[in-house]
Structures are given as C-alpha cells and as structure tokens.
Structure 1
Amino acid sequence: MQHNSERNNNSKVSDTELNPVDAEESQNNFFKRLPPEVTSRIFSLLDVQSLCRASMTCQSWNLDIRLNDSLWKPHCLALKAVCRKEIEDDLKSGYSWRDILLRNYQKSKVKLEWLSGRYSNICSPVDLPEKIMCPMDAETWGEILEAELKRCKNHKDTIASRV
C-alpha cells in the first residue's frame, strides 16, 4: 500500500500543466522568444487564407503579419497575371502590398472567371450571380468586353468553317 502512495506522489502533475491559462501564456512566451526572422519565415509559408487566420490568433501575430509587406507581396504577384494594371496603379499610388491584395483579391477572382468565359452564356443581368460580383473600373470591363468579343468572333469563325 505504501508503494502505491509513493507512485502517486511521484506522478504528480505540475500546477502549470493543470492550468490551461498558464499553459497558454507559456506557449505565447515561446512564440515571443522566437527570432523575428523565424516567425516571418513560418508566416511566409502560409497561403492567403491561413495567413489571415493566423493574424486573428493574437494581437502580436496580427501586428507581425499586418505590418510585414514581404508576406503579402508574393500573393499580390500571383494576382498580377489577372490584375496587372490594377496592381501597378496601386503600387504607383503608394498602397502597401497587403492593401493591394485586399483591394484586388476578389476582383481578380471575378475578372478571371469573366475572362475565362464563365459568364459568356448569360442572357440577362438577372442571371448574374450577385454574391460574387464586385465593383470594377471601366478599363477592367473593357478587357472583359474585348475577351467576350474575341470569344464571340472565334465562335462565329468556327461555325462558318463547318458550313
């Protein structure tokens, strides 16, 4: 019987391990002790959605992520294929890479779908999926119109060659 009580005394868990608040504080201290280059490197491996989620974890991560332009630049450059002019204009206007991404992310998705012909068969504004639409400037709509006209011309040429 004495052997069991010794084992119970030896297997006690520290108060820190039992208290989740202390454990969380200990974990936060661990991340705060990491060199900024290490946390920056870790954050640079995240996609946009994960980066945004990580920024909601705590205030220090939010600041580290929000203020680190080098984290946002690669994501903006990935959008540049679709929104080249918009991104170049935003850069000239002095926007940060994060702000450029915020300004153009949804627009790039919608623009890419238009340019790829996703909405070519829409007959009326009622058929447009309103939830995915976003405001775009006249030049962007001009690019979309050019792509639609080119697609229409190619379609007519294909039909004419079959006849």
Structure 2
Amino acid sequence: MQKNSKRNSHPVEKESNTDKKKESKEDFVEVLPPEVTFQIFSKLDIQSLCKAAMTCKRWNQAIEKSDYLWKHHCLTVRAICQKEIDGDRGNGYSWRVTLLRNYWKSKVKHEWLSGRYSNVSSPISLPEKNMCPMDADTWGEILEAELER
C-alpha cells in the first residue's frame, strides 16, 4: 500500500489557491476604467486620499496624475486660507501641491479663529504637534478675532 502525501492529495485545491493569488493581485485601478477609478477616489477625504496614495505604486500614480481629485479639498481649505491658496495657484502650483502646502495651516488657523485657544494661559497649554508656522497677516487675523471675543 502506498501512502499519498498531503501535498499531492489535493491538486485541485492547489490550482484554486494559485488562481486566487492571481485574482488578488489585480485591483480596481487596473480593472476599472480611469473615470470610475476617479469617482471612487473622489469620495475620499483628504487624509484617506493621502493614505490611498501610499498604498501601492498603481494607486499613487492614479491619484497623483489626477490633480482634479485634490481641487475640491483645496477649495475647502481656501475658505480659511484664501490668500495662501490664491497665491500658490497664481505661482503655478498644482491643486495637490497647493493643498499639501496649506492643509495644516488651515486646520490650525480654523482652530484659532473658532476660539479653541482663546483662554490659553501659557504656551505649554498649546498642543505642539498641531502648531505650524504662520505669517504675520495670518496672526493679525487671529489677533483681530481674539480682540472681538
């Protein structure tokens, strides 16, 4: 009597596992038309879009080459940092680069203008990781808002 090894006893399973591996290597960016891929990525918020761009080369290329994906988010940031966004766009920066240059500034500026830091008693009370450099005009806007409170 001859014993069959477990490795050779299920050749059909081995083939199906190989097929599954082939299928799992394809993703929607490869399979779907670029317009559909764009629609999927356009549903992501800024942080998710940045994370998706870091997922793999194909996703990065699809996201990076579609500057329009960044436009909506950039216009949202523009509501807070109009001067900065308009300046960067006027200097020829893409929507993506403009957004990346101004995103954190807009977050910090929004928090200041909304009064989050109005009653700060010392610099130690400020969250260091959320702070970013801002120009004199931006600080002037923040000071005006504080004086009006």
Q: Give the TM-score normalised by the residue count of structure 1.
A: 0.77
Larger Cα-atom Rg: 1
Partner of 1:116: 114
| Distance in 1 of aligned mates of 2:138 and 2:43 | 31
Partner of 2:22: 22
Over the aligned positions, Cα root-mean-square deviation in angstroms equals 2.2
Q: Which runs of 5+ in 2 are unaligned?
A: 1-8
Partner of 1:105: 103
Partner of 2:138: 140
Q: Which runs of 5+ in 1 are unaligned?
A: 1-8, 152-163
When the two structures are aligned, how many residues end up with a matched partner? 140
* Alpha-carbon displacement from aligned partner over 1:108-129 (angstroms, at most 9, x marks no partner): 1110110011111112223222
| Distance in 1 of aligned mates of 2:53 and 2:114 | 33
| Distance in 1 of aligned mates of 2:29 and 2:79 | 36
Partner of 1:72: 70
Partner of 2:5: none
- Tell me how far 1:23 sits from its aligned partner: 3.2
Partner of 1:4: none
- Tell me how far 1:40 sits from its aligned partner: 1.0
Partner of 1:96: 94
| Distance in 2 of aligned mates of 1:31 and 1:75 | 21
Partner of 1:157: none
Partner of 1:45: 43
- Tell me how far 1:136 sits from its aligned partner: 0.7
- Tell me how far 1:14 sits from its aligned partner: 6.1
